[in-house]
Structure 1
Amino acid sequence: MNIGFIGLGNVGGKLAGSLLRNGIDLAVHDLDPDRVSGFVAQGARAGGSPAAMMQTCDAVITCLPSPAASAAVMDQMLAFAGPGKIWMEMSTTDEAEVKRLGAQVIERGGAAVDCPVSGGCHRADTGNISIFAGCDRETFERILPLLTVMGRRVLHTGPLGSASVLKVMTNYLATGHLLMLCEALTTMAAAGMDLTTTYEAIRISSGNSFVHETESQLILSGSRCVDFTMDLVLKDIGLFQEIAERNKVPLDISPLLIDLMRDGQARYGTRAQSDRMIERLEEATGLDITAPGFPTELKDDEPEAPGYEVAVKR
C-alpha cells in the first residue's frame, strides 16, 4: 500500500516518521511547508493537496488538531474516496463527527477507520504508542500491518466511532491524574516532604499512574513541556463531557476539570503547555515544585519492536 499522511504536528509527524523509517511508501501534506520539505528530504513524497493524495494513495491518514480541521480536509478528499480507498482518522475527535464523515466515505465504496493513539509523543516517536481502531473487522485486518508499524499495542474497539469514544475517556482520566498530582506534589512540599522521595513514594504505590511516571518528572524538572497544550486538553475533556451529556450521565468531577483548565488558559495562554497547571499552585503558595535529577524531556526507553493486536479478555 502507498500511504498519504496529512498533519505533521507533534503527534502526526512522529507517526509518519515511523512509517517512513520502516520503509512505507509515504506521501505527506501539512500547512507548514517546512515540515513537508523535512519529510521529503528523508525520502517521502510531497503529496500536494488532500484531494491529490486521496486520488493517488491507497489509504490517507489524517492527524489534525480539531474536528473542524478534519472536516475541511475531508471536503477536499471526498470526491475521490471510492472503492479500494481507506480514510484513517488518527486525530482525537468527536464520535458523531467521525461517524458522519466516515459514512460519506463508505457510501462511496471506501472504508473508514477512527484510530487515535494514546501514550505520549515520546512513544509515538519510537513506534511504541498504543492505538485504538474503530471499524469493521475486514477493514481492521487490512490496516493492521500499518497500525503495527506506528504502534506497539493495537486494540480493535468495535465499529466506527468507538475508538474516539474510548480515546477521549482516556484523556479525561489523564487530565484528572495531572491535576491531582499537582495538588499532591504541592501539598507534600508544603508539609516539608522531599519531592524526590515523594515522587518515588507515588511511583511504587497504589497512587501511581502513567501520568505520574511521565508528567510528574517534567513538572519536577521545571521544563513543564509535555508537547500537549491546554487548548487540546480542553477540546478532549470537553468531548468527554459531551458524551456524558448525550447519555444523560450527571458528572461532578468533569465540569470542575474543565473550569480548572480554563483558568490555566486564562493565566498562561491558550496554547500553554498543560503541565504548567502546577504553576497555579506555586503562585498560590509561594513554593517551588521542582527537584534535581529529573529529565527535561521524555524519552522512550522501550526498544522499537513490531506491534501486535491486543486480545480482549471476555
Structure 2
Amino acid sequence: MKIGFIGLGNVGGKLAGSILRNGFDLTVRDLDDSLVQDFVTRGAKSANSPKELAETCDIIITCLPSPAACSAVMEAEDGILAGISEGKIWAEMSTTDETEVKRLAGLISAKGASAIECPVSGGCHRAATGNISIFAGCDRDTFDRMLPMLTTLGRRVLHTGPIGTASVLKVMTNYLATANLLSLCEAMVTMKAAGLDMATTYEAIVISSGTSFSAETEGQIILNGSRDISFTMDLVKKDIGLFQQVADRAGVPLEISPLMVSIFNDGIERFGERELSPNIIKRLEEATGLDVLAPGFPAELTDEEPEEPGYEVVPKGRIPAE
C-alpha cells in the first residue's frame, strides 16, 4: 500500500514520521522543501505536485493549517482532485470546518474515491510517538479500510459517524483545551500574586479535581518559560472560532466562548499571530508585573509512554462492529 502525505508541519511531520517508521511506502509533499528533503533522506519519496502524489498513492493524507489551505491543495489545477481516482482514499487530518470537509468529500466521491476526516488530539509529543488519539468521520466501510493505518498513526481511534462529525468533535475538544488553558493562566498568576510557590501550585493542581490535560502539559511549559508546545495563537483563534460557528449554526447562545475569542484577539493584537499559544498568560503577567516561572520544568513536552499498537474506541452502550 502506497501512502501519500501532504503537510509536514508541527503535527503533520510527526504523523508522517510514524508512517515512515512503521515501514510503509511513503511519498511526501510540502511547500517547505527542507522538510521534504529530510523525509527523503530517511527513505520517503517526494512528489512534484498534489496531483502527482494522488496519482501514485493509494491513500492521500492532508494535514494543513486551515480549511482554505486544504481547499487550495484539493482544487488547484495540479491538485488532489485532478489526480485521485476510483478506489483510493483521501484522509483529511487537519482541524477543519464541518461544512467544508463535507463539500470536499462530495467532490472526492464524484471521482469514485472515498473520503475520511481523521483529526488528531493529544499534542505534538504524542503525535511523534504514535500514541495520539484520532477521531474518524466516514462510512463504516471506509473506516474499516483505514483502521490499520489509523492504528499506526494513533493509539485510540474513535469512529464518530458520517463525514463532518469528527470535525465538530475536534473543535469542541480544542475549545475545552483552550478554556482550560485560560483558566490555568488565571489560577497561576493569582497564586503567584498571593505568594504561593509555583512548583507547589502545579502539584496542587495536577493531583486535584482542578487538573486537566492542559494543566498537566502546558502548565509545565509555562513554568519553564519556553512556552513552546508547537502551537500558535492564530491556530487557537481558528479552532475556537470554528467551535463558535458550530454553536451559531445550532442556535446555542454561548457566553464563555465569545469571551475566549476576544481574549485571543487581544493576545494576537499584542504579541502577533505566530506567538506561542501558552504565552496568552503574558497578558496577565504584564498587567501584574509578575513572571510565572519555576525551576525544574521541561522546555518541551515528551511522551514518556512507549509506542503501542492502536485500537478502536467503542462508545459505551454501543455494540462493537464485527
Q: TM-score, normalised by structure 2?
A: 0.97
Counterpart of 1:90 in structure 2 is 93
Counterpart residue identity of residue 168, structure 1: V
Counterpart of 2:67 in structure 1 is 67
CA distance in 1, matches of 2:82, 2:27: 19
For the residue of structure 1 that corresponds to 2:61, the secondary structure is strand
User: Could you list the per-position Cα deviations for residues 279-303 of structure 1 after superposition, in whole angstroms to 9, with x for gaps in the alignment?
Assistant: 1111111111001111111000000
Counterpart of 1:51 in structure 2 is 51
Counterpart of 1:266 in structure 2 is 269
How do 1:230-245 and structure 2 match up within 5 A? 230-245=233-248
Q: Could you tell me how far 1:78 is from its partner in structure 2? A: 1.0
Counterpart residue identity of residue 257, structure 1: M
- 1:254 corresponds to which of 254, 257, 277: 257
Counterpart of 1:8 in structure 2 is 8
CA distance in 2, matches of 1:33, 1:191: 50
For the residue of structure 2 that corresponds to 1:103, the secondary structure is helix
CA distance in 2, matches of 1:164, 1:304: 26
For the residue of structure 2 that corresponds to 1:261, the secondary structure is helix
Matched, 1:26 2:29: no
For the residue of structure 1 that corresponds to 2:303, the secondary structure is coil
Contact 2:51 2:84 (C-alpha < 8 Å) held by counterparts? no
Contact 2:55 2:85 (C-alpha < 8 Å) held by counterparts? no
Alignment: residue pair count:
314
Counterpart of 1:140 in structure 2 is 143
Counterpart of 1:304 in structure 2 is 307
User: Could you list the per-position Cα deviations for residues 254-301 of structure 1 after superposition, in whole angstroms to 9, with x for gaps in the alignment?
Assistant: 000000001111111111000111111111111110011111110000
CA distance in 2, matches of 1:62, 1:77: 10
- 1:190 corresponds to which of 164, 180, 193: 193
For the residue of structure 2 that corresponds to 1:125, the secondary structure is helix
Counterpart residue identity of residue 171, structure 1: N
Counterpart residue identity of residue 241, structure 1: Q
CA distance in 1, matches of 2:52, 2:88: 13
Counterpart of 2:229 in structure 1 is 226
Give 5+ residue unaligned stretches, structure 2: 318-322
Q: Could you tell me how far 1:82 is from its partner in structure 2? A: 2.4
Contact 2:53 2:83 (C-alpha < 8 Å) held by counterparts? no
Counterpart of 1:283 in structure 2 is 286
Give 5+ residue unaligned stretches, structure 1: none
For the residue of structure 1 that corresponds to 2:27, the secondary structure is strand
Shift >4 Å, 4+ stretches: none
Contact 2:133 2:155 (C-alpha < 8 Å) held by counterparts? yes
CA distance in 1, matches of 2:243, 2:234: 14
Matched, 1:38 2:38: yes
Q: Could you tell me how far 1:109 is from its partner in structure 2? A: 1.1
User: Could you list the per-position Cα deviations for residues 198-227 of structure 1 after superposition, in whole angstroms to 9, with x for gaps in the alignment?
Assistant: 101110111000000100000001111110
Contact 2:137 2:162 (C-alpha < 8 Å) held by counterparts? yes
Counterpart of 1:292 in structure 2 is 295
Q: Could you tell me how far 1:77 is from its partner in structure 2? A: 1.4
Counterpart of 2:320 in structure 1 is none
Q: Could you tell me how far 1:83 is from its partner in structure 2? A: 1.3
Q: Could you tell me how far 1:80 is from its partner in structure 2? A: 2.9
Q: Could you tell me how far 1:47 is from its partner in structure 2? A: 1.8
Counterpart residue identity of residue 47, structure 2: G
Q: TM-score, normalised by structure 1?
A: 0.99
CA distance in 2, matches of 1:206, 1:82: 51
